[in-house]
Structure 1
Amino acid sequence: MATQFLRRFFAPRSLVVIGASPKPESTGGVVLQNLLLAGFPGPIWAVNPRGYKEVHGVACFRRIADLPETPDLAIICSPLHGVPEVLEKLGARQVRAALIVSGGASLGEGAEALAGSQGEGSLRGSRGEGSLRARLQKATLQSGMRVLGPECLGVAVPSMRLNATYASQPIGDGSVAYLGQSGMLGNAMIDWAAGREVGFSHLVTLGDSLDVQLPDVIDYLNQSGRCRALLLHLEAFRNARHFMTALRESSRNRLVLAIKSGRTAEATLSPVAPTAGIDRRDAIVDAALARAGVVRVDDSDELFDALETLSRFRPPKGDRLAIVSNGVGPALLAIDKLIDGGGLLAELSEASAQALITQKLDVSRPGRNPVDLGGSATPEDYLSALEIVTRDPNVDAVLVLHAPTRLAPSLATANALVEARQRFRHRLLVSWMGLKEALDARAACNRAGIPSYVSPEKAVRAFLHLVRYRQVQNLLQETPPSLPFGSSAEMRQRCHALIDDALARQRDRLTHQETGDVLGAYGIECAPSEYVFDLEQAERATERLQGPWAVKVVHRDNCEPFRYGGESRRQAASLIQDLEQPGSVVDAVVRLEARVSEALPDSPIYSYCLQTMQRGKGSLQLCAGITRDAEFGPVIVFGTGGYKIDVMADRQTALPPLNMRLAEELIDRTRAGRLIREHSDDPREAIAWVSRLLVKLSQMASDLPRLKGLEINPLLLNQEGLLAVDFALDLGEASTQAIMPYPEQLRETVVLAGMNVEIRPIRGEDAPLITHFHTFLSEQSIRYRYFHHKAVLSTRDLSQLSQINYDRQMAFIAVRRREESESAEASDSGPRGEEMLGVVRVWNDPDNIRTEFSIIIRDDFHGIGLGRRLMRKMIDYSRQVGTLAMVGTVMSDNLPMRQLLASLGFELRLNIEEGVLEATLRLNEPQSDWQRHRLEAALD
């Protein structure tokens, strides 16, 4: 029900304000006045049981039943304790959307009902069956309405002349949407935006979100063409899969910035269960927003700074920054900000360094970055230095810092930069320090499209925003495969059997040996181990393993992953190392049994694990694993390993699914990653080993939904590779990933005209195949697909065609692999020895009511049955995912397509106005009245 009836919140044809009063402190009265001041074009009514004939010139009725018409939207401003009854009456009147505005209601009539944070009129802490929250939820379900709020500011769509809020000032029109969860912060955003001359396409605060959720509204905005940028204020996440799906779709089409409150436990109003294995849950939010292509900022001021920078300027190609300044002090401030923010100070090439020295431009550290021109620098000196630095291949962007001097006044220097800007290859950012003389310089640069800032720190922060936006957009475009590195159904079945057997025995964790079997099934090498159950077996095991040895007692409590603090000391107490003689091994078993029996009498011993000590190989100790977050589900963790240090201090997280590039990005965020690059004989190979392991863990998280946590610690890395020494795995209820993995299971190979043709879902890396495919299309084929001529696909076209959201879209491509000899001889061979023969696509609406298809086949492969095969596969897929109807538009002269669709059961109807045929195929029956209503409206 993502967008059901949401139009009525944002484009209502009529509305009613319930609880409106002429009293100046009335929230309903303020909302009504805002509607009138905005010039809402449709009918407005008021309802108040006090019997007012009119409120602020608007007709007022005692009862909802007395309204002359059924309004599109009801805005409820009455005391919360009576809202369930109001919802029931609105439902009886067939109202389909209700906005519960509070946050100021305590100032109006019925304030006594809202007094106290735990009183009858409050939702805080109200969770029981008879609570106000439960009554509101029940009334919402029974009424059949969509409800936004309560505890919200309201909704504003300035272009529709709609201001259904209690905001204290008008809301300007623009192309930026703001979605938040706090009414008061929304009120402040309006004022901040007005001060920066930013207008809104939509402004919504959702408050308690009893019904309409943040992803629902994002879905609605994704269908709106007016939203150029999206600003989010986040507090909590209720449906991570829906949130990530909607947000990733939005980020592909517009700039998305987010600010989140509740970074610390003290600032969290609705506590979430801690996530095992990490000490900062907020790191998971960072990882999720990054995978969604969202730039996260720390505060409201930075939110608007980032909006201004990212909406006006393109990101540089890399993150290496050079600094040119007329003083070393400002440059050092900039460098501190850059390094603290994770940026990279460029290292100038030898040619650039020599040129700066030859021209005597750098007075502090000749030939080094930053380039200090000195206090006597002139505008010409700036231009000379920039000619050199902007041509340096080691530099991606240049920050110009300027403090006004007699020899280089701010405006004169700015004018010189503006006139010469076309000569500079790299992106320039400028900080004109000061507030008087610098004003005109900043204005001149801004008019010329050169980013200009008031301080070095703000300029660097803007550069980091540009870099971060490029980074998160790259993460968004990654499409990890679902079954990497030879994963097989047999392997997964073996692991499922182990887990099912443990659950059948009422165990919530696997033994050490069972966990090793799971790791081995995924190709993760474990230290050779012997599992013994008595002293005699322990002594015999020393004959099969080379010494010296380590013995670990395996009991229930140390089969649980991520046990730290006092638990890590117990973990170490369960282990005895450096045993030189077989008799020492036997003695260790006796001692370990005594330790566990005394310290943990309720933790049964499963076995004893004997391993060869792994010393003398120069190994790095790492930790990798899977944990589960209460909001985002499975999470991959990685960092430094070992028992005797605070391993969580270095631990970073990533949401599965991962591919090699995403895994390497996770590694590079850790101190462990830096150690690998600094101390490995072959850093690239070592990083590849660790990345491959992380991808295998990602696949494990997808294959084994009952897996709750897995810790490999220590994980040893040396010149021979990776070795899992100790590990633990526990189980829980089945969980889903926040990001849908690549649907590898939908691949199939068919034989057409004697060729083996693979039909599979499209991937982000298929863009070169699409480009190659497009060159084989005739003008007629292109016109039939795009309804106009499109000789060349733009970069944006390729991005949209290859990078899809599998929760909402699907594209099956048909490819064939050319033999090496054939590819070498043919000038028309595609990338990777493959060529694309055709593609069928669908775009689902957020409610999965209707999906729109398109199909195109290469001209030289017409007539072999490929179009029919692709359409049948897409029809079967759409039926399977529950879509109700498939629709498409066909040009009237496209006779082969008309014949194909008719043979597949599509109904074809002529649209006389457009001169096209509309094709419709019913796939599934509606399961509810609202689905039936939506389907009929969509097909009408």
Structure 2
Amino acid sequence: MTTRNLEAFFHPRSVALVGASGRKGSVGHFLARNLFHSGFQGPIMPVNPRRDSIEGVLAYPSVSSLPRVPDLAIVCTPPDTVPDITRELAEQGTKAVVVVTAGFGEGGQEAGRSLRQAMLDAARPHTLRIVGPNCVGLLAPRQGLNASFAHQAALPGDMAFVTQSGAIVTAMLDWASGRGIGFSHVVSLGDMADVDFGDMLDYLAVDPQTRAVMLYVEAVTDARKFMSAARACARIKPVIVIKGGRVAEAAKAATSHTGALAGADEVYDAAFRRAGVLRVFTLEELFDAVQTLATSTPLRHGDHDRLAILTNGGGLGVLATDALIEHKGHLAELSDETMQGLDAALPPTWSHGNPVDIVGDADPERYRNATQNLLEDKGVDALLVMHCPVAVADPNAVAESVIESVQARPSRKRKPIFTAWLGDQAVANSRSLFAESHIPTYDTPERAVRSFMHLVRYRRGQEELMETPASLPDEKDPDRESVQALLEEALAEGREWLSEPEAKALLSCYGVATVETRKATDPDEAVRQAEEIGFPVAIKILSPDITHKSDVGGVKLDLANSDRVRIAAEEMLKRVHQARPEARVDGFSVQAMCRRPGAQELILGLTEDRQFGPVILFGEGGTAVEVIRDKAVGLPPLNMALAHSLMAETRIYDRLKGYRAQEPADLDAIAAALMHISQIAAERPEVQEIDINPLLADAEGVIALDARVRLRPREEVDHSRGPAYRLAIRPYPRLLEQWGHLLDGTEVFVRPIRPEDEPALSALYKHLTPDDVRMRFFSHMAELSHESAARFTQIDYNREMALVAISPENAAELWGVARIAADPENERAEYAVAVRSDLKGRGLGYLLMRRILDYAARRGIHEVWGDVLSENTRMLELVKDLGFERRLLAEDPNIVRVSKTLGPAAATEKA
């Protein structure tokens, strides 16, 4: 379940308080006080078998004695009573329950866990939803609902705040009330036995009262649901998150470089970025970010981080510049035209550069002229205007001049503007003027600059959500049969680690270039293998018990002849035995020396996070990798755009782009290697960990010199759920690729849509006649915008599906597409279909619709529906043939609502 019955939490017609109390200081007393004195207009029914009344209102001895069924119930009775109370409420028809009580397994108590399960078992048959247990409750200020024991109410507003921590709720309310900040919803989720972050994000995404969503997250429960909901919500409105518990109490024992480097907080950071969510680190920063994203003019497409700074004090400009550089922003370089305009409008003593210091005696007119000139500069992405109080200028008049300059510009030419009026009482009215004009205002240069960079980061995240990736260069199918045989052999022997030659073989099957590597059981065989490979060679010890071979003298490089190989192997056995006498030794790996002068040493890896499943790591490699700690992590699946973005988060990325006489490395080859690792994560649940260190990268490409692969025991792999069940983001569903035939016998390939299909999808819509476009979109549209095409191709396979038909003559040409978008409950899905106008009448639309309906049935979707113009007779005939029912919409008789109820599918859709 996701949004089902959540409306009852925030718009109930009646509320019951089970455990209401008149005893001052008790939770039941505070809950009753807040409920009865917050302006809720519906009936509130307290339940207490020992009191006749609570807060002057008649109390009822039990749930069964209530005069009506409450939409919402608040429960604060002892934990052992909660399952029966939940069952009684559910059976009567209550839709939502907030369980404030603790004692449901916190800290791992078995009795509490049993009570928790009993509570859930009582609720689920009746689709009753539960917030909590162990929570402060919830507030919906616009409805006058305060179903919490918080010490104060929330002001009504348009921001939602959802948190796991009850203490954060009370701190947030106290902090916000003093600043006049209001909320649409405040929800303490507690232990999230039922309703979690994913549910709330789905609900708030479409809530018209909510303009922005703030989250305080300590951990997520269902990672895939969270990622789908967060991405869907972030496409519609800003989502800002604070992550609590950023520093782990103790590092887990790691068996590889990748495991040691991919910390849990970095994984959360990667998840937030992938979902388009803006992460902040303090409550103050949270509200600054909300104010910025909710009130400022958005950065235009293609704009970056070039800030112009206007000030009447040089010191303020210096502080703002320092903050900008620390946050990795850039000072705008002013154009000659702007400089000339400023020279004409300002006194000779102005700074003649950016920051633009217009001197301490600046009056409103000087501010107006400078603001207008800077906003006209095409090299300025945003403007920060600062003012410190001086006796010769009224701060309110200066503020009004800036506001007038901003509002005088046409809306299409407006740029983000930030203000920082320093001081307290003297500038309080000025800040009010900015707030009333929806211009973000701050009390320090640093906060203003940080907020500008919030806008930059948010814009970059949104663009990344819509970025069209390039196709994988020289895309080839992996040798899956060889990989399967290799893994089966290792698992049958009960091995946890593949040998180095096996690990490289697996990587090679997936397209990662590796150095030729062979296994030798003893020094004599090492010599024979070296002679066959050709000198010089390197030899390494093979042992499942030794993680870092160089630490025990288990690596020898650049061996030029047979004698040196033999001596090195014999000495290596002695060193390893002395250093690790308990270690099992299986022999040696022998590999050709790879001479790539000037190549950069990288690390690529795959590990598993407890919440988010497989995680991919990229960074600077070598023996000092844990010391250097130049790395970034990302969630699979990756495409070329995401792989490049992951690389760009590291310091070594600048070196990879080339410097001085050093040629740039082949960045596409590195990105392709990351994609190959991502593909292994999606297809091979048996693979638990991969470590490639070093991966050499230069202008010629990449090659893996060393690799380790750790396997998951066979009994821990759940093959029934499909190969990608562990991934937080559902990957491309390759199993849906099929061939089909048109009425004239033409064979077409049908597959799920991919992000790199955006150009082909736009081309398909250019092959639609204007009349067909109107039939599809209910309006005239000259072409498909980049934003629309990106949204149609970068779909969430966990909730949507689009199947495309490929031209048999040109694999980059689409002939048609059929899609469904399911609701969060996976109950109903809306369909859409488009076929090139010049290909109609050949049965392609029927083929695509039949395939998408079959898929919907396998997904367990109950109903597929769509709206069709009544004049679209071809589509109405098509859906009639497919068994759809039809009815005219009362609100618009020109539209026919068609729907088809799907029966149970023979097989459920996996992963």
- TM-score over 0.5 (shorter chain): yes
- 1:626, distance to aligned residue in structure 2 (A): 0.9
Instruction: Specify the alignment match of 2:722 in structure 1.
Output: none
Q: Return the alpha-carbon distance in structure 2 between the equivalents of residues 799 and 32 of structure 1.
A: 50
**Structure 1 stretches of 5 or more lacking a match?**
104-120, 561-567, 820-831, 928-940
Secondary structure at the aligned position of 2:675 is classed as helix
Q: Return the alpha-carbon distance in structure 2 between the equivalents of residues 698 and 239 of structure 1.
A: 21
Superposition pairs of residues 895-934 of structure 1, within 5 angstroms: 895-909=873-887, 915=893, 916-925=895-904
- Aligned CA-pair RMSD: 3.6
CA change 1:41–1:497 in 2 (3 A) is farther
- 1:406, distance to aligned residue in structure 2 (A): 5.5
What amino acid does structure 1 have at the position aligned with 2:829?
T
CA change 1:143–1:692 in 2 (3 A) is closer
Instruction: Specify the alignment match of 1:862 in structure 2.
Output: 840
Secondary structure at the aligned position of 1:188 is classed as helix
Q: How many residues align?
A: 884
Check if 1:808 corresponds to 2:799: yes
Check if 1:14 corresponds to 2:6: no
Match of residue 761, structure 1, among 737, 752, 761: 752
CA change 1:745–1:648 in 2 (3 A) is farther
Instruction: Specify the alignment match of 1:466 in structure 2.
Output: 455
Q: Return the alpha-carbon distance in structure 2 between the equivalents of residues 743 and 341 of structure 1.
A: 39
Q: Return the alpha-carbon distance in structure 2 between the equivalents of residues 780 and 38 of structure 1.
A: 55
Counterpart contact for 1:480–1:741, Cα < 8 Å: no
Q: Return the alpha-carbon distance in structure 2 between the equivalents of residues 680 and 876 of structure 1.
A: 58
Instruction: Specify the alignment match of 2:324 in structure 1.
Output: 338
Superposition pairs of residues 234-249 of structure 1, within 5 angstroms: 234-249=217-232
Secondary structure at the aligned position of 1:722 is classed as strand
Secondary structure at the aligned position of 1:175 is classed as strand
Check if 1:322 corresponds to 2:299: no
Point out the more displaced range, 896-905 or 516-525: 896-905
Secondary structure at the aligned position of 2:22 is classed as coil
Point out the more displaced range, 752-761 or 656-665: 752-761
CA change 1:394–1:621 in 2 (3 A) is farther
Superposition pairs of residues 605-684 of structure 1, within 5 angstroms: 605-614=585-594, 617-644=597-624, 646-647=626-627, 649-679=629-659
Check if 1:845 corresponds to 2:827: no
What amino acid does structure 2 have at the position aligned with 1:920?
S
Counterpart contact for 2:530–2:591, Cα < 8 Å: no
Match of residue 263, structure 1, among 239, 246, 250: 246
Match of residue 259, structure 2, among 273, 276, 291: 276
Instruction: Specify the alignment match of 2:59 in structure 1.
Output: 60
Q: Return the alpha-carbon distance in structure 2 between the equivalents of residues 626 and 381 of structure 1.
A: 58
Superposition pairs of residues 493-504 of structure 1, within 5 angstroms: 493-504=481-492
Instruction: Specify the alignment match of 2:509 in structure 1.
Output: 521
Counterpart contact for 2:471–2:756, Cα < 8 Å: no
Q: Return the alpha-carbon distance in structure 2 between the equivalents of residues 236 and 589 of structure 1.
A: 49
Secondary structure at the aligned position of 2:731 is classed as coil
Superposition pairs of residues 465-544 of structure 1, within 5 angstroms: 465-478=454-467, 485-488=474-477, 491-544=479-532
CA change 1:35–1:788 in 2 (3 A) is farther
Counterpart contact for 1:680–1:686, Cα < 8 Å: no
Instruction: Specify the alignment match of 2:162 in structure 1.
Output: 179
Match of residue 433, structure 1, among 402, 412, 422: 422
For residues 275-316 of structure 1, what are the alpha-carbon distances to aligned partners after superposition, in whole Å with 9 as ceiling and x for unaligned? Answer: 813163211111100110100111111111111110011333
Instruction: Specify the alignment match of 1:550 in structure 2.
Output: 538
Q: Return the alpha-carbon distance in structure 1 between the equivalents of residues 821 and 417 of structure 2.
A: 40
Q: Return the alpha-carbon distance in structure 2 between the equivalents of residues 589 and 273 of structure 1.
A: 25
Q: Return the alpha-carbon distance in structure 2 between the equivalents of residues 847 and 10 of structure 1.
A: 19
For residues 667-715 of structure 1, what are the alpha-carbon distances to aligned partners after superposition, in whole Å with 9 as ceiling and x for unaligned? Answer: 1211221222354867655322322221221122112122111111112
What amino acid does structure 2 have at the position aligned with 1:629?
D
- 1:520, distance to aligned residue in structure 2 (A): 1.1
Match of residue 384, structure 2, among 383, 393, 399: 399
Point out the more displaced range, 520-529 or 157-166: 157-166
- 1:413, distance to aligned residue in structure 2 (A): 4.0
Instruction: Specify the alignment match of 1:232 in structure 2.
Output: 215
Q: Return the alpha-carbon distance in structure 2 between the equivalents of residues 889 and 542 of structure 1.
A: 70
Counterpart contact for 1:510–1:730, Cα < 8 Å: yes
Secondary structure at the aligned position of 1:552 is classed as strand
CA change 1:404–1:878 in 2 (3 A) is same
Counterpart contact for 2:501–2:518, Cα < 8 Å: no
Secondary structure at the aligned position of 1:276 is classed as helix
CA change 1:327–1:517 in 2 (3 A) is same
CA change 1:864–1:12 in 2 (3 A) is same
Match of residue 108, structure 2, among 116, 122, 126: 126
Instruction: Specify the alignment match of 2:733 in structure 1.
Output: 743
Counterpart contact for 1:261–1:267, Cα < 8 Å: no
Counterpart contact for 2:619–2:631, Cα < 8 Å: yes
What amino acid does structure 2 have at the position aligned with 1:402?
H
Superposition pairs of residues 110-189 of structure 1, within 5 angstroms: 121=103, 123-128=105-110, 131-144=111-124, 145-189=128-172
Instruction: Specify the alignment match of 2:909 in structure 1.
Output: none
For residues 395-416 of structure 1, what are the alpha-carbon distances to aligned partners after superposition, in whole Å with 9 as ceiling and x for unaligned? Answer: 4223333334466654454444
Q: Return the alpha-carbon distance in structure 2 between the equivalents of residues 651 and 702 of structure 1.
A: 22
Q: Return the alpha-carbon distance in structure 2 between the equivalents of residues 801 and 893 of structure 1.
A: 25
- 1:231, distance to aligned residue in structure 2 (A): 1.0
Q: TM-score, normalised by structure 2?
A: 0.88
CA change 1:452–1:256 in 2 (3 A) is same
Secondary structure at the aligned position of 1:17 is classed as strand
Q: Return the alpha-carbon distance in structure 1 between the equivalents of residues 286 and 348 of structure 2.
A: 36
What amino acid does structure 2 have at the position aligned with 1:246?
A
- 1:196, distance to aligned residue in structure 2 (A): 3.5
- 1:550, distance to aligned residue in structure 2 (A): 2.7
For residues 784-826 of structure 1, what are the alpha-carbon distances to aligned partners after superposition, in whole Å with 9 as ceiling and x for unaligned? Answer: 444566677677655544443221122334464887xxxxxxx
Counterpart contact for 1:484–1:699, Cα < 8 Å: no
**Structure 2 stretches of 5 or more lacking a match?**
718-724, 907-911
- 1:437, distance to aligned residue in structure 2 (A): 4.2
Counterpart contact for 2:346–2:366, Cα < 8 Å: no
Point out the more displaced range, 477-486 or 577-586: 477-486
Secondary structure at the aligned position of 1:469 is classed as helix
Q: Return the alpha-carbon distance in structure 1 between the equivalents of residues 210 and 787 of structure 2.
A: 18
CA change 1:92–1:617 in 2 (3 A) is same
CA change 1:907–1:649 in 2 (3 A) is same
Q: Return the alpha-carbon distance in structure 2 between the equivalents of residues 351 and 256 of structure 1.
A: 39
What amino acid does structure 1 have at the position aligned with 2:731?
P
Instruction: Specify the alignment match of 1:565 in structure 2.
Output: none
Instruction: Specify the alignment match of 1:292 in structure 2.
Output: 275
What amino acid does structure 1 have at the position aligned with 2:20?
A
CA change 1:294–1:912 in 2 (3 A) is closer
Q: Return the alpha-carbon distance in structure 2 between the equivalents of residues 837 and 195 of structure 1.
A: 59
Question: Percent same amino acid among aligned pairs?
Answer: 38
Counterpart contact for 1:70–1:94, Cα < 8 Å: yes
Q: Return the alpha-carbon distance in structure 1 between the equivalents of residues 296 and 596 of structure 2.
A: 53
What amino acid does structure 2 have at the position aligned with 1:155?
L
Point out the more displaced range, 284-293 or 758-767: 758-767
Counterpart contact for 2:606–2:615, Cα < 8 Å: yes
CA change 1:299–1:90 in 2 (3 A) is same
Check if 1:725 corresponds to 2:715: no
Instruction: Specify the alignment match of 2:70 in structure 1.
Output: 71
- 1:617, distance to aligned residue in structure 2 (A): 0.6
Q: Return the alpha-carbon distance in structure 2 between the equivalents of residues 273 and 234 of structure 1.
A: 28
- 1:64, distance to aligned residue in structure 2 (A): 2.5
CA change 1:700–1:347 in 2 (3 A) is farther
Q: Return the alpha-carbon distance in structure 2 between the equivalents of residues 748 and 361 of structure 1.
A: 73
Q: Return the alpha-carbon distance in structure 2 between the equivalents of residues 143 and 789 of structure 1.
A: 48
Point out the more displaced range, 251-260 or 877-886: 877-886
Counterpart contact for 1:328–1:364, Cα < 8 Å: no
